[in-house]
Structure formats: C-alpha cells, structure tokens
Amino acid sequence: MERTKDFYWKDKDFCRTLMLRMMVVNKFEETAFWLFGQGLVHGTMHLGVGEEATGIGTTAALKKEDYMLATHRGHGQAIGKGVDIRSMMAEILARETGTNHGKGGSMHICDFDNGILGANGILGANGPIACGAALTIQMKKIPDRIAACFFGDGASNEGAMHESMNLAAVWGLPVLFVLTNNTYGMSTPLSKVVHDMDLTKRAYPYGMKAFECDGNDILAVYETVRQAREYVVANGPALVVEHTYRTSGHSKSDGNQYRTKEEIQYWKERSPIVRFRQELVEQNVMTEEEIDALQAQADQIIADAVEYAKAQPQPRVEDLERDVYAD
C-alpha cells in the first residue's frame, strides 16, 4: 500500500534520521574534497554532492541483510547502508584500519557485515556481481532478502548492465536495479547519448517492472524503493529510476567547463537537504533551531572521523598481498 507524505510527517524520529544522514553524507563529501586539496588523499574520488537523497533514501528502505553494490560515487550509499564512518574516512586516507585496510580507497568501500559487497570503478560492473549475490539468495532460499545494484545513467548504456538485467529477468533473481540519473555521464549530457530520455523503458525489453521518482525528494525516494523492494521479494527483478543532479564535478579534476554556473546554482537551490529542510519546517515537524542542531551534530561526526583517521597507522609493506589472493 502506498504511503503519502502525511504518513511520514507523523514520525519525527524517522524524518530526523533521514535529515541527519543526508547532512553527514554532505559533510563527508565536503571534507573529503578538502582533504584531497591538502594532499592527504591520493588517486581520485567522485563526489555526489546534491545526490544525498538517492543514497540515503534508497538504503533506508533496504534491510541490513540485503546485499548492496555501490558505484564509484558511493560514499552516500555506503553511509546509508551502515558503514562505520570513521573506518571509511580511514580508508580514504589510506590507513590500516580502513574498511579495506587502506588498499581500496574511495571507489572500493566494502563492509560485508552490513551487506556492502563493494563499490566499483568499472562502469556497469556492479550488475553481474549483483546477479551473483542474488543467485546466492535464490539458491539458498533465503527469505526476504534482495541484492540492490546502484548504477548511473552513463552505466545504463553499458552492455554489462543490459546483460545483467536480462539474466536477472530470465532467472527471476531478486535484484533491485537502482538507476541514479544525474543527467551527465562525466561531462556528456544524457540527451546526447540516448534517443529516448525515459530511462524507465530500459526495463521493458526484459519484462521488468519499472518504478520512478524525484531523486531529490528524500521521502519520495524512500517510499518508491520501499514499494520496489516488496515487489522484488515477491516477483523478481525490478528497476527504479531516481532523477537527481550532482552539483559537484565528476571527479576532483573536473573543471565544470561543460555546464554553466547558473545551471549548478539552480540545482543547489533545489538540493535534497534544502528541500527537506523547507518541508520539515513547513509541516511543523522540526524547527530551524532543531535542524541547525542536526547540522552541528553532523559536523562533529565528520570532525571526529577525520581526527580518528589521521591518527591511524598506514598499511605495512609486509601486508601488500594480504586480502588480494584467496587462501
């Protein structure tokens, strides 16, 4: 049964949790960007500023036991699924106590205890892995569990994703394909690489049900994914398309030469956090002061994570091959 926003406004604790998680994600992204500029983060990273609702709203509708495959822009997805933020910050700073012992970095966050099977730097590579996880669920007859596979509008053109959707449909695998459409594949607008901008139609050739929502509306994301998850448990694979926008660049090296400052500002004013804040106040769920207190809490959580991560040891040379090869 569909739940309206009025249903959720009655649950202040739930709304508060969603807002705090989005603020934590946003502060994590901003801080990671600053640390990169200080030369403390090596390699590169892909921020999702402006996409906070897609990661938090989606994962809030999943269960801890559900498997999840994140994208290269997956900080918010991992935080929403329950990763230890201090360990993830340590991972980004290449420390021994990081989620991947300092060897994976931003694009490969894993946390098996919370169902996070890893992020991936290869576009579309999440699909086959998600199908494997879902096949495990199916073969072991594990009840009420799914595999959620995040991918973007750019990855939706990758053959691996279409093969995965076809395989999931043929075998009836419990996979929820979550397409975060931020309208750009790196610097290329979606309109230049697809004939039809309606990405829900990607599900149709495989006889798969498609759901769609405003990806900048946290409650719309949660409710849509809640319904989609129920469908997948009962019927097999489905696609959710979440329309959003990243105000940050594709990566640290992105100079934003392909879009205007006015375009970015337009979306900043409509970001998930800005919108949810306005709604919470208008619906008398929270006051401005209470929301400011949440921001202070989020800031402190990230400050503590940075302090912790900086104090951790770097990986030892002797452990170079540990966790690389199976025993």
Structure tokens given for 159? 């053959």
Residue in 192, 273, 267, 203 with CA at minimum distance from that of residue 241: 203
**Domain 10-312: which topology?**
Rossmann fold (3.40.50)
Question: Average pLDDT in the 132-144 region?
Answer: 98
Query: Which element (helix H / strand E) includes 35?
Result: helix 12-37
CB 103, CB 130: distance < 8 Å: no
Collect all residues with Cβ–Cβ distance below 8 Å to 298 and sequence separation of at least 6. Answer: 20, 23, 24, 26, 27
Examine the pLDDT at 254 and tell me if it is beyond 70. Answer: no
Residue in 27, 62, 87, 46 with CA at minimum distance from that of residue 229: 62
Report DSSP state, residue 187: T
Least confident of 40-54, 160-174, 214-228: 40-54
Please give the Cα distance from 119 to 122 (Å, whole number): 9
Q: Are strands 175-181 and 238-243 parallel, antiparallel or unpaired?
A: parallel
Residue type at position 66: D
Domain boundaries, the chain: 10-312
216-174-76-315 Cα dihedral, nearest 10 degrees? -170
pTM (2 d.p.): 0.94
Mean per-residue pLDDT over the chain, rounded: 93
Please give the Cα distance from 233 to 253 (Å, whole number): 41
DSSP for 139-176? HTT-TT--EEEEEETTGGGSHHHHHHHHHHHHHT--EE
Residue pointed to by tokens 């040891």? 313
Least confident of 151-160, 188-197, 219-228, 248-257: 248-257
